């Protein structure tokens, strides 16, 4: 199976070489790497030129309309039976592509598969792992789980039916895409580490208000397009408020608590789930905890050893 990996890029010269190399070093062939860069003005172009003559890699740098535009150009150019959209600052772990291909071979009914991720900082240092359970549509739309773009692979025939990324939800375009696929076709999580997600200061996911806005539009558009069960609708409404809770500043503790109660009222049964942040349902817990922590430091209390 030919696997096409699409990389949208803009001013990620510090990281994109690691991304490209993590694909070229995969043990699966054939592959093609398609990079659409939005006219970067950092070292990105020099990095891309260093791969000139690499037959598996195509790149183009030109002004575009944003990340959705770059991804859609890549989707139109891709020839693979299996597709992936990799961020220009994330990387694949060895064997990731072959694991995805084998999953599609064994279970061709699946439209999208993904694996687990390690978390790294801007210097590539490992800072954690994100291990999730099996895919569940309600938990995904309810924001109890997520599909890491760094490990997601999907069938090209599904992409042709679903269409491309939507520019009107640019800051949640990947989640919007996965939800549109998952609302129509089977999705499966592979129980193995397949990629590394990088945290760094320039990330788009620092744009909290825009992410919340686009997530809400994504969910409301999906609800309008499908006749979901009442249970799924409850999870969807809860997810809108949990997104607002998650991205509200820590200092706005009252607002965060209100969002949590709104999420709870939308889907009361979810309070039993371990993923629901129940501790902050206690009004004022955040400022009280900070005051107590400060008092402990002033009084010289040391944290208990574990």
Give me the percent of the chain exceeding a pLDDT of 90: 80
For 188-242, how does the pLDDT look when each residue is reduced to its tens digit (9 = 90+)?
A: 999 999 999 998 776 655 688 999 999 999 999 999 999 999 999 999 999 999 9
At which residue do the structure tokens 């084998």 appear?
Answer: 102
For 236-274, how does the pLDDT look when each residue is reduced to its tens digit (9 = 90+)?
A: 999 999 999 999 988 888 899 999 999 999 999 999 999
**pTM score over 0.85:** yes
For the chain, the structural domain boundaries read: 3-206, 227-306
**CATH placement of domain 3-206:** 3.90.550.10
Q: Find the DSSP H helices in the chain.
A: 16-24, 44-49, 67-77, 96-106, 137-141, 156-162, 173-182, 208-225, 230-247, 253-266, 285-299
CA gap 188, 1 in Å, rounded = 19
């Amino acid at each position: 199976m030919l696997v096409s990996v699409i990389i949208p890029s803009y001013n990620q010269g510090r990281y994109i070489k690691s991304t490209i190399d993590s694909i070229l070093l995969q043990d699966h062939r054939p592959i093609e790497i398609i990079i659409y860069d939005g006219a970067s003005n950092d070292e990105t172009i020099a990095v891309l030129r260093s791969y000139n003559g690499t037959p598996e890699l195509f790149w183009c740098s030109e002004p575009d309309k944003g990340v959705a535009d770059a991804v859609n150009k890549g989707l139109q150019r891709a020839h693979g039976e299996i597709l992936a959209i990799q961020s220009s600052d994330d990387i694949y772990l060895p064997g990731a592509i072959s694991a995805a291909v084998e999953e599609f071979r064994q279970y061709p009914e699946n439209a999208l598969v993904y694996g687990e991720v390690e978390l790294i900082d801007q210097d590539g240092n490992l800072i954690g792992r994100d291990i999730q359970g099996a895919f569940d549509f309600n938990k995904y739309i309810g924001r109890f789980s997520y599909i890491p773009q760094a490990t997601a692979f999907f069938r090209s025939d599904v992409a042709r039916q679903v269409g491309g990324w939507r520019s009107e939800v640019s800051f949640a375009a990947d989640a919007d895409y996965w939800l549109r696929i998952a609302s129509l076709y089977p999705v499966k999580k592979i129980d193995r580490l397949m990629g590394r997600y990088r945290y760094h200061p320039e990330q788009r996911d620092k744009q909290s208000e825009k992410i919340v806005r686009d997530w809400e539009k994504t969910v409301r558009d999906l609800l309008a397009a499908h006749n979901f069960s009442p249970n799924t609708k409850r999870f969807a409404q809860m997810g809108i408020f949990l997104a607002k809770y998650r991205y509200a500043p820590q200092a706005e503790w009252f607002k965060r608590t209100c969002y949590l109660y709104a999420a709870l009222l939308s889907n009361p049964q979810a309070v039993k789930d371990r993923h629901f942040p129940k501790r902050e349902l206690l009004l004022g817990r955040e400022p009280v905890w900070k005051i107590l922590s400060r008092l402990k430091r002033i009084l010289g209390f040391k944290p208990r050893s574990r």
